[in-house]
Every structure is written in C-alpha cells, then in structure tokens.
Amino acid sequence: MPNGSHTEWRFAFRARFEVATLPDMTVQTLPNPLARRLFLHRHALGEVPSGSGKGADLAALIDRIGFVQVDSIRTVARAHDHILFARRASYKPKALKHLLERDRALFEHWTHDAAILPVHLFPMWQHRFAAAESRLKAGWQRWFRDGYEAQFDTILSRIAEGGAVTCSDVGQDEARSKGGWWDWHPSKTALEWLWRTGVLSIAGRENFQKVYDLTERVIPVLHRAERLDAMAHLDWACTSALDRLGFGTHAEIAAFWAAISLADARDWCAQGVKSGALCEVDIVSADGTPRRCFARPDVLHEASTLPPAPPRIRILSPFDPALRDRARTERLFGFYYRIEVFVPEEKRQYGYYVFPVLEGERLIGRIDAKAFRAAGALRVRAFWPEPGVAMGKGRLTRLEDALQRLARFADCDAVAFESGWLRAG
C-alpha cells in the first residue's frame, strides 16, 4: 500500500488510470529517456564533473541545484560533501567551509531538512521564520521540556556580549539529553527555536556541532534588508522549483523548498497554464505509464537538444537532491531505493548505508561501501546491479575507477573488495 490515506491512494490510482486510458492529444508527451536526460541536466549530473569546485564555481553549482542537504553520517563522506563531489571531481570540503564561514556566500537552514543554501535566498526565508514561530509554539510545548522560553533572553544576551556559542556552551546546569532529539535540555531547545525563527544563524560548525550567532553578524545586511510580499514569495518558490526540476506536479513543486502549501502551488500552476507561461505535459515513466505534470512550453525542445550524459559512473549520496523524492526516482528510473539506517540489521535488504550508482542516464545498482581511514581503505562489501544490468569488463572497470576516485576523496589510499562483493542482479 502506498504512503498516505486510503482515500488519497484511491484518488491517485484513479487519476493514474484515467491519464493512462484517456490521453489528451493536445498535451505534449515527454518520452522517458528525454525526461531522465532533462532531469539529470537540471541537477548537474548530465555533464562531465568539471570545474574548479571552489569559490564562484562552487557557489554557482549550489545555486543551480538549489541546496545541498546536510547530514552527519560519514560512512564514506558527509552528504553535503558527497553531493558536491559527484558534480565536481576537484571538490574539497574546505571549499564549502570557506563559502559558508569566510565569504558568507551561503547559509544553513531548513528546506525539507537541514540544508546549505545560497545566501541571496535569505529574504525568501523570512516567510518561513514567521510561519515557524506559531507552528513551533504549538508543537514544541508538547514535545520538549518546560523552561526553554525562559532561556531566550539569557542566551541572546550571552551571544550578544560574548560571541557565538554551541549547544555544549550553554545550559551546563540543566539536565542533559539521554540521546533522543526530543530530550534536548531547555537551552538547546531555545537555541534551535531562535535559529529556526531567524533570530540566530549558523556561523559555522565545530566537530559538526552548530555554532550559533546573531543573524546580523552572519548574514550580510543586503540580504537581511530585502523583504518579499506573499505573492512574490509564492511566485519565487514555484518558479525556482520548476526551473530546477524541469517538470513536476503541483505537489512536487510545493515540496521542493517545503515553503508553500499544496493549494497555493496548485493555483500557481493553474494560473501559469491559463496565461501560457506553463503547459501540461505527460512524462512517460520507466514502466511506460504517462504522468501529467507542468513544465515550460519549450520543455520538449529543450530536452531533445540536450547532449546525452557521459557514460561515467558516479556513486551518489543517499541524500542527493536528484534522489530526494524516492517516488519520482522510481517513476523516472525504475529504481526502488530506501535508506536502511533505521531498519534493524536483521531486516535490512541491502545494508546500513548503501549508495545508488548512476551510469550516464541510468541508475544501474547500489553499493555497500565504508571508509576505514585508519587502515587507509575504502572497503566494498557488496554491489547489487539492477536486473538486466550486465557487469561486463568495461562497466566493471568504470565502477572500479569510480570507487578509486571516491576512496581518494574519503582520504583512503586503496579500495578493498570483500569476497563475493559482486552480487547477482
């Protein structure tokens, strides 16, 4: 049973059946190979990963894909670094740190999850800050310990007078967490509240701990001063999401930044079609089923004129923005993927942290690899090719080359393959 209520599933099934059996001959159809090509190009995965991977080049890349998700797991590399390395072979983590902490060209906040974003988007987050205050007040009073609101003034005064702090620097006399995010001590809860509502910003990280400072010390005044009204914010959210997706349903457009409602996205799409700024298009899924989406009127021409992606193999982060929407990944690529970090070991189908493998415009399998830096080795436990993917000599060589590149990026000298690592497709 798909996620969601029985009613949602029934309507989704009916809509899919009606589109499949009653095609609208006035609606363009984008074949699956071209849809994948356009989608990958919009996510900067359709070209050779060239470029300096630092400074203006790196900032432009992050702006192009919208954001990079932040995650602490370092099985091979942290998600934000891995995402950028997949697109820039020369990328080094210190380049991102420089843009964040020295140049202030980026900032960290929430989309669907914690993310690093271009700082010129900060004005768009003013709406999120305002919405967060009322939403958090309702939820956090139920979920967290009492006393965090009383810490707001204390923490702000300390930061204003003494400078940036981490969670470890505050609330030393408070009972500490026993491990769950819901068990934050009051000062930690206050720090997060003030960050999510825009009073504080992340000035950097120390051993992956957030460093909180006053927003006026972190975000350049140019970006703090700008304000958008509600309609301008809605148009930005939908326009920028569609530009980065290439095509999408109103729900996919709304979900990209997680900044607007489904109803607002639906109305924006309907108005776009009415004005001619958008068109409806049937995107052919990997299984041959068309799915009605919205796109720019020239979507077919653009997709058909893009060059094919090079046959290079890239090992992607589970949090890669091209894979964030697992359902869309399955529709476009016929690739079912779920991360199994929170699945008990005995119930895992593949492994704790398994990486999707992209070759050209096709997801060809998944690989279980882990960096053992003290031993200088990237250890490969298993690779599972997708059904129908033959692992001939050329493909094996390209996969081994990709693993060697990933090993060097993870500060390992060699790749070590466990016995029987190549599994049946």
169 or 217, which is more confident:
217
Is-same-fold flag (144-219; 313-417)?
no
DSSP string, 235-270: HHHHHHHHHHHSSB-HHHHHHHHT-S-HHHHHHHHH
The answer to whether 213 and 164 have CB atoms below 8 angstroms apart is yes
For residue 132, name the pLDDT band (cuts at 50, 70, 90). confident
Class of 313-417 in CATH: alpha beta
pLDDT for 6: 38
Lowest mean pLDDT among 123-127, 139-143, 207-211, 247-251: 139-143
d(CA 387, CA 365): 9
* pLDDT of 53 higher than 80: yes
* pLDDT of 177 higher than 70: no
Q: Domain residues of the chain, as ranges?
A: 144-219, 313-417
pLDDT tens across 190-223, in order? 898 899 999 999 999 998 999 999 999 999 999 9
pLDDT tens across 227-238, in order? 899 999 999 999
CATH 1.10.10 fits 144-219, yes or no: yes
pLDDT for 151: 76
Between β-strands 28-30 and 279-284, what pairing exists: parallel, antiparallel or unpaired?
A: parallel
pLDDT tens across 313-338, in order? 999 999 999 999 999 999 999 999 99
* pLDDT of 122 higher than 70: yes
Rg (CA), the chain: 23
At residue 145's C-alpha, the angle toward residues 144 and 147, to 5°, is 120
pLDDT for 179: 53
The pLDDT mean for the chain works out to 89
DSSP string, 171-219: -TTSPPP-S-GGG--HHHHHHHHHHHTTSEEEEEEETTEEEEEEHHHHS
Give how far the C-alpha of residue 425 lies from the chain's centroid of Cα atoms, to the nearest Å.
Answer: 28
pLDDT tens across 397-414, in order? 999 999 999 999 999 999
pLDDT for 189: 83
CB atoms within 10 A of CB 176: 13
pLDDT tens across 70-85, in order? 998 999 999 999 999 9
- Closest alpha carbon to 400 in 384, 416, 376: 416
* pLDDT of 111 higher than 70: yes
